[in-house]
Structure 1
C-alpha cells in the first residue's frame, strides 16, 4: 500500500525510466551496458516507491498515551524553550527518519487541532542544531482533555523538499490517523509539558501510530 502523495512521483519516475531504457536499447549495441541500465533503473524505482509505502497501522486509542508520530530513531529527549506557540519550557522528543523509514506522519494524540502553521525555510541536515528553527517545517497543536495541548513539528532535511500537512485548525482528529507526509525525510519533534513520563530512550527505534513514547499523566 502506498501513500497518495507518492503516486505522481512514482508514475513520472516510471515513465522516465522506461523512456531511458527504450532509448538505450535502440542506440546502444553492447548488451552489458543495456542490461546495466535496466538493473539500475529497477533499483532506482524500488528506492523511490519504498519512500511512499504506507503500511496499515492499528492504533490503540488512549488519551493518556502520546504515540510516535513517525517511524524512526529517538535522537533527542531534552528540555527546551518552545518559542513559537507555548513560549515556555517544554520536553522535546525528536524522532529522526532515515531514507528507509516510512515517512507518513500520524497524529500523536486525538482531539481538536488548535494551531497549524507552515514555515518556509532552508534544508539543513536534520541533525543540525538550527534545523528546527531555520528549515522548512510545519507546526501543529492538538488538544484533548487528558493530554492538554501536544505540539508536533515536521522538519524538512537536506533531502526533503516538500512537507505535506493535512491538519486544519478546528478539525477533530483521531489518534494515529494520517496527518501529513515529509517527502524524502527527515525529522519530527514532539513537545510535551515538563514532567511528562517518557517511555522511550535515546537511540530507541519507534513505529508511528504504534509506539507509546510518553504518558500524558506523570
Structure 2
C-alpha cells in the first residue's frame, strides 16, 4: 500500500467531464474518486484547485453550492481558490477572434483564470520535495503543469506520479521521466463517486442543482 496525494485541476476536469458526459457527473465526490482510482493506496490528501466563474451569477451560485456540499461531506478535501481577472480585447484585424466590423472597433471583455495553476504546481512540487506521501496523482491534462510534473519527478525519482486524465481529455503527447504514468479516468470511476443528492451541514442542506441532474 502506498500513500497518495491527489491534485485536482478543477476547471480542466470540469470541461473534460462536461464535454464527454454533459452535466451527469459534475456533482462529484473527489475523495470517493480518489479511492476509486487508487484503491490500493492510503489517501493522505485531496487538494482541489478551482476558481468561481465570473460574469455568470447562476453558474457561480451552483459552483458555491457544490463546493459547500463537497467540503461538508468530505472535510478531507482541501479547496484552494484562485480568481478571475478581467481582460479587454479590441478588435484589430479581420479574422481575429475578437474582431468586429464596427468603426471605431468595439472592445470585448472576458475573464482569465489566475493563480490556480501556480498554486497547484507549487503544492505538487513542495509535497514531492518534502516527501509527503510516496505517490502523486494529478487530475489534469493542462500542459502549463508540465514543468511541475517534471520537477516533481526529478526531485523525487522514487516517487510515482500518475497523470489521471479526465474523460474528454487525451493523455499528453510529450515524453516524461519514467516515474510519470498516465491513465484515463473511466465512466465507471465517475459513476461510483457522486455525492448524495442532498448534503446536510448543521442547519444547512445543499442540494444538487437541477441543471446538474
Q: What TM-score bracket applies, with the shorter chain setting the length?
A: under 0.3
TM-score, scaled to structure 2: 0.23
Structure with more strand by fraction: 1
TM-score, scaled to structure 1: 0.23
Structure with more helix by fraction: 2
